[in-house]
Every structure is written in C-alpha cells, then in structure tokens.
Amino acid sequence: MASKDIATLLIHCPDRPGLVHDVTGFIFSHQGNIIDLQQHIDSEQDAFFMRLEWSLENFTLENDEIEARLQPLARRHEMQMRLSFASQRKRIALFVTKENHCLYDLLARHESGDLPVDIPLIVANHETLRPAAERFGIPFHYFPITKENKLEQEAAQIELLRQQRIDTVVLARYMQIISPAMIAEFPHRILNIHHSFLPAFVGAKPYHQAFQRGVKIIGATSHYVTADLDEGPIIHQDVMRVSHEDSVHDLVRLGRDLEKTVLAKALWWHVRERVLVFKNKTVVFD
C-alpha cells in the first residue's frame, strides 16, 4: 500500500568526504525519491549540515523502522539526526499577554491552512485576550503571574503542556521571562519575537531605546529562547524604515507589522523542519 507521506531528515556532523553520497544511497536503496536536498558546510567549524525530504510513496521501510535503520550510518559519521514526517502535525502552544496582533495573525494563518499545525491551547498571564481565543474556539488557560507564584505557575504550565503533548511553545508577545525549567523542557523549541533587530536594544522597551538613539530603521527578531535573555539563536529578522516624524507611539504601532510577519515566518521554518541550531547560530534551509 503506497504512502503519500513525506519524510524529512535533518543532519549535522563533522565534515568528511562522501557524506551526501552515503545518505542519498540509503534513500535510493530503499526506493525513496528525493524531493528536496540542501546541504551546508561550515568550513571554519568543519561542520556538515544537510536537510533531505523524500517521498515515502514507494519507500520499502515503514516509518517507524527508518530511524533505527539509519543508526549505523549515523554512528559511522557521528551524526546528529532529526527525522520527522509530514503526516505528524506539530502541536503548538501560544503564549500571550495583552497585545493581539501576533495571536490573530497566527490564528488566521492556522484557519486558512497556511500554518499546518495543531493549536490545542493558548496560555496567558492576563485575561485580555480570552475573547480572542474563544472566538477561535481554542481553550484559553489563564496563569496570573506574580513574583511570588512565578515558579509554581510555570510548573503548572509545564504540566499542562506535557498533558497536551505540546511540541513547540510560541511566545506571541508574552511579556514574561521564561524560567530555566521551561527552557530545559523545550530545548530550541520555544520561539520568541523580540521587537528590535538584535543585538541592538536588548531587554525592555526596545522601541523607546530606538527612539532615544534616533535610529532610521526599526526591526524585529525571532529567536529560540535560551538561558541568556535575548541571546538565543536568531531564526529570522526583518526591518522597516522610520524617520524623525515617528513618535515612540508610531514605532510601537508600525513595529507590530514586523513582529507578526517575522514570528510567523520563523514558525513556518521551524514547523517545516528547516532550522538547525549549531553553536548558538541557526542554519535555515529556506
């Protein structure tokens, strides 16, 4: 019985001759047909990166056999591998506070089919966006956070995310610093949107900092959350021209368009398994 499924394999390992030949040989020998292949060699780090998509239509291995059968190859080349299937939709949790633009943008993409994921829940530290969640019929979980209850509330959040088998957390303008426990639970699987072109204007109120400095360009950056605030691997950035005529209020308003499109694009690449992290930088196979 032919499958219409598609497999995606992300690899990185030390660079050496024959890697592409070996991996494509594995696919070829099991009747897989490569749909997309991208590789990158970081010659400074002597590191090899590859992304492979192949059709499982005539593939002679079952989906759940593939990983094991790749092991000898992986061991031989000291490969880090990540295998996934188009048929397995990622389960995403959206974290929000009060601003609606990233939330609505992602929900609209989801509804139109442009974002092929499941969104089983929304987490918020304010009630503001409950009506928005309810409009789209997505369960809204309110976790008010104070200095005192923060760790406790995060533990409850983690528990909820586990129950819901959440794969990836998206901080869609969630105005809280994430604690180490959450970061450890979702390594390189928490996406944030920071409202500046990092590394400029780290921390709070970046538009105010930008206005103060008198920059002629503002930006937004989506990155994976790591233990160092605003220092995680950058997935995507974009910018917009501004001028002396724009007040701080204008920058905030204009920047929202950047924030929502930058976050959505980073999430798209993440969901399509197009992002590899290596030494705090990303390889994005666009």
How many C-beta atoms lie closer than 10 Å to residue 259's C-beta?
A: 23
Quick one: tokens of 279?
């030494």
> Does 230 participate in catalysis according to the annotation?
yes
Quick one: tokens of 33?
């047909």
- How far is Cα 67 from Cα 83, in angstroms, rounded to an integer? 7
Stretch that binds a copy of itself, among 24-32, 88-96, 164-172, 176-184 (CB under 8 A): 24-32
Among 201, 204, 270, 272, binds a copy of itself (CB under 8 A): 201
Please state, in angstroms and as integers, the Cα–Cα distance from residue 101 to each residue in 77, 150, 168, 184, 254, following that order: 45, 25, 20, 28, 11
Least Cβ distance, residue 277 to a copy of itself (angstroms): 10
Distance of CA 231 to the CA centre of its chain: 15
Q: Does 256 sit near a copy of itself (CB under 8 A)?
A: yes
Stretch that binds a copy of itself, among 85-93, 101-109, 148-156, 187-195 (CB under 8 A): 101-109
By CB under 8 A, the count of residues binding a copy of itself is: 70
Strand intervals (E) in the chain: 6-14, 33-42, 47-55, 80-85, 91-96, 118-124, 140-142, 168-171, 190-194, 217-224, 234-241, 275-278, 281-284
Nearer to a copy of itself, 236 or 270 (CB): 236
Residue among 230, 246, 250, 286 flagged as catalytic: 230
Nearer to a copy of itself, 64 or 245 (CB): 245
- How far is Cα 117 from Cα 253, in angstroms, rounded to an integer? 28
- How far is Cα 235 from Cα 192, in angstroms, rounded to an integer? 10
Helix axes 101-112, 248-271, angle to 10 degrees: 40
Quick one: tokens of 83?
């295998």
Nearer to a copy of itself, 28 or 151 (CB): 28
Q: Does 47 sit near a copy of itself (CB under 8 A)?
A: no
Q: Does 229 sit near a copy of itself (CB under 8 A)?
A: no
Q: Does 135 sit near a copy of itself (CB under 8 A)?
A: yes
Q: Does 184 sit near a copy of itself (CB under 8 A)?
A: no
Among 33, 71, 80, 163, binds a copy of itself (CB under 8 A): 33
Which residues sit at the interface with a copy of itself, rule CB under 8 A?
17-18, 20-21, 24-25, 27-28, 31-44, 99-101, 104-105, 107-109, 111-112, 114, 132, 135-136, 197-201, 213-217, 219, 233-239, 241, 243-245, 247, 253, 256-257, 261, 264, 280-284, 286
